[in-house]
């Protein structure tokens, strides 16, 4: 078990290229495997989560050739997957487990999905319930992994109202809908990331989307395509906050995905007073990209608008660091989903902020943070096996006069394998021991 020692630094200056988008990387492997023809993917994230998805499809008979971040996927079609010889180990990846459940529920063979200790605690009943309504047969451990999925079931399309704002649940049902008799429709309570819908269209599959309702009908095929994976805004967010809180910072993040269902972090930081400008906006493969310039800023606390919560759900740990450096109080509500991520991210961040002397109050569905200054840490901060917690507290070193130690940072490799090198190249002083 390794840890970060984040030493004080004040300056940040660089042009940075953060790794490829994790959500798009997962989906490119899944849909490329189910398509006819060879899908070429450039810029695939090399994190452990994505590689778990890649290995799972290789175990199901898909030929996948990898040369660093370039991948060629020899698709087998919707019905060409083969039964794996053993359980599919998805490590820490909740995205892999939830989305693949939709695909595997319709196969002719039995399968089992397992994960690490952290993933084994995460709720899967949110995908089990709609899949069961469609006709799937799934056994779980009280709604949590491992999942045993019985093959040779006939699925029927459903009209499903999502009880939570979750792109993973939406995507799971849509992927099952590729195999279901009749039409499958999903209605969202709030807009969530739409990479699955965009990518299905990119693979030539007709999909209807209007007024938060998404529908598709089985019976069509996926056709191989070429995919350019943009830089992940969730990874870029760490350096966006780093630049806003640093005493002297001016950075440019190149080619970042600014899909409008993912830009909540930009909107929230700008409401707090962050100096963020977007240039070189262009479209690649149905996704919108831009270079993002971020400069040192004087932040103020805000009540985070409820409509932005689902659009920034993965970025809140580092947004809490920004709130800690802002003048006044920041209030987040409507974010109960943060309690069932890789950790209880609300409580994990609150505990760490308290160690750094930041006043906060945990709410059932959010948190109040009183902006101030970081004190000498009272203790080592625990990441709770959560990559975003670990990286967020590393960013706090840009406004702390003392070393910050963060335990259990191995999981950073799941989403941002070169985080330490990139942070140090920009001016931070981060050591992993």
pLDDT computed for residue 69 by the predictor? 83
Rounded mean pLDDT of the chain?
A: 97
Closest CA to 96 of 44, 34, 26: 26
Catalytic residues: 314
Q: pLDDT value at position 335?
A: 97
User: What is the per-residue pLDDT across 115-127, written as a single tens digit (0 to 9) for each?
Assistant: 999 999 999 999 9
pLDDT of residue 367: 98
Do residue 87 and residue 217 come from a single domain?
Answer: yes
- Say whether both 40 and 95 belong to one domain: yes
What average pLDDT does this structure show over 203-230? 95
Given a cut of 90, whether residue 406 has pLDDT beyond it is yes
> Which among 133, 137, 138, 140 has a CA at the least distance from the CA of 115?
140
- Among 165, 200, 228, the domain boundary falls at 228
Q: Report the C-alpha gap between 423 and 159 in whole angstroms.
A: 45
Q: What is the CA radius of gyration of the chain?
A: 21
pLDDT above 90: residue 1: no
Residue 250, both tokens: 């001016």
Q: Do both 185 and 243 map to the same domain?
A: no
| Segment 54-59 mean pLDDT | 98
In this prediction the pTM is 0.94
Q: Which residue has the tokens 């429709």?
A: 185
Residue 154 has pLDDT above 90, yes or no: yes
Domain end point (choices 205, 228, 251): 228
- CATH number of the domain residue 342 falls in: 3.65.10.10
Same domain, 389 and 304: yes
Q: Give the domain-ending residue among 199, 228, 257.
A: 228
What pLDDT sits at residue 211? 87
Are residues 137 and 159 located together in one domain of the fold? yes
Q: Which two tokens stand for residue 161?
A: 């109202």
Q: Which of the four pLDDT bands, split at 50, 70 and 90, describes residue 235?
A: very high
Supply the pLDDT for residue 284: 86
| Residues 10 and 53 reside in one and the same domain | no
* pLDDT number for residue 286: 84
Q: Are residues 394 and 297 both part of a single domain?
A: yes
Cβ–Cβ under 8 Å, residues 21 and 257: yes
**What pLDDT sits at residue 424?**
98
Q: How confident is the model at residue 391 (pLDDT cuts 50, 70, 90)?
A: very high
- Give 65: exposed, middle or buried? Use CB within 10 Å, 0-12, 13-18, 19+: exposed
Give the bridge partners for 149, in sequence order: 111, 138
Q: What confidence tens digit (pLDDT) does each residue in 274-283 have?
A: 999 999 999 9
Q: How many residues does the chain have?
A: 433
pLDDT for residue 129: 98
Looking at the fold, whether 237 and 333 belong to one and the same domain comes out as yes
What number is the average pLDDT over the span 325-330? 98
Pairing of strands 381-382, 404-407: parallel
For the stretch 22-50, pLDDT in tens is 999 999 999 999 999 999 999 999 999 99
Give the pLDDT confidence score for residue 285 in this predicted structure.
80
Q: Per-residue confidence at 415, pLDDT binned at 50, 70, 90?
A: very high
pLDDT-derived band at 306 (thresholds 50, 70, 90) equals very high
Do 336 and 398 belong together in one domain? yes
Give the three-class secondary structure for 117. coil
Token pair for 148: 């045993």
Same-domain status, 221 and 280: no
Q: Is 208 found in the same domain as 169?
A: yes
241-271 confidence digits (pLDDT tens): 999 999 999 999 999 999 999 999 999 999 9
pLDDT in tens, 339-354: 999 999 999 999 999 9
Number of domain units in the chain: 2
The DSSP code sequence of 186-241 is EE-SS----HHHHHHHHTT---EEETTEEEEESS---B--EEEPPBPHHHHHHHHH
Q: Taking a C-beta distance cutoff of 8 angstroms, is the pair 371, 326 a contact? A: yes
pLDDT tens digits, 3-22: 999 999 989 999 999 999 99
Domain extent at residue 84: 22-228
Statement to judge: residues 276 and 324 lie in one domain:
yes
Using a pLDDT cut of 90, give the percent of the chain over it.
Answer: 97
């Amino acid at each position: 078990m390794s840890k970060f020692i984040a030493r004080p630094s004040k300056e940040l200056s660089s042009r940075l290229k953060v790794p490829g988008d994790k959500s798009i990387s997962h989906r490119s492997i899944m849909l490329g495997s189910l398509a006819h023809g060879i899908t070429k993917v450039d810029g695939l994230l090399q994190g452990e989560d994505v590689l778990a998805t890649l290995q799972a499809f290789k175990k199901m008979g898909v030929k996948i050739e990898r040369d660093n971040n370039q991948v060629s996927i020899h698709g087998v079609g919707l019905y060409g997957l083969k039964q794996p010889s053993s359980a599919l180990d998805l490590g820490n990846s909740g995205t892999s487990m939830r989305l693949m459940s939709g695909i595997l529920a319709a196969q002719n063979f039995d399968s089992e999905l397992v994960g690490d200790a952290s993933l084994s605690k995460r709720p899967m009943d949110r995908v089990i319930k709609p899949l069961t309504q469609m006709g799937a047969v799934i056994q779980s451990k009280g709604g949590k992994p491992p999942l045993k999925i019985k093959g040779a079931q006939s699925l029927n399309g459903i009209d499903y109202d999502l009880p939570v704002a979750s792109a993973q649940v939406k995507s799971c049902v849509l992927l099952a809908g590729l195999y279901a008799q009749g039409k499958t429709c999903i209605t969202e309570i709030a807009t969530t990331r739409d990479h699955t819908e965009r990518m299905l269209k990119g693979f030539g599959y007709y999909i209807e989307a209007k007024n938060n309702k998404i529908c598709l009908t089985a019976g069509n095929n996926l056709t191989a395509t070429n995919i350019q994976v943009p830089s992940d805004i969730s990874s870029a967010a760490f350096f966006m906050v780093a630049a806003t809180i640093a005493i002297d910072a001016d950075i440019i993040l190149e080619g970042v995905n600014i899909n409008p269902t993912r830009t909540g972090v930009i909107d929230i930081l700008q409401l707090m007073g962050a100096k963020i400008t977007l240039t070189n906006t262009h479209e690649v493969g149905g996704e919108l990209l831009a270079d993002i310039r971020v400069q040192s800023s004087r932040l103020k606390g805000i009540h985070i608008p409820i409509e932005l919560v689902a659009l920034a759900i993965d970025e809140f740990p580092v947004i809490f660091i920004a709130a800690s450096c802002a003048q006044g109080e920041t209030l987040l509500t409507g974010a109960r989903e943060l309690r069932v991520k890789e950790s209880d991210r609300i409580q994990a961040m609150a505990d760490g902020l308290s160690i750094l002397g930041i006043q906060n109050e945990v709410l059932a569905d959010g948190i109040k943070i009183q902006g101030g200054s970081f004190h000498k840490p009272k203790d080592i901060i625990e990441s709770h096996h959560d990559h975003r917690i670990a990286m967020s507290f590393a960013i706090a070193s840009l406004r702390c006069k003392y070393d910050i130690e963060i335990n259990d940072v191995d999981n950073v490799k799941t989403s941002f394998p070169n985080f330490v090198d990139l942070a140090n190249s920009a001016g931070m002083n981060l050591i992993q021991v």
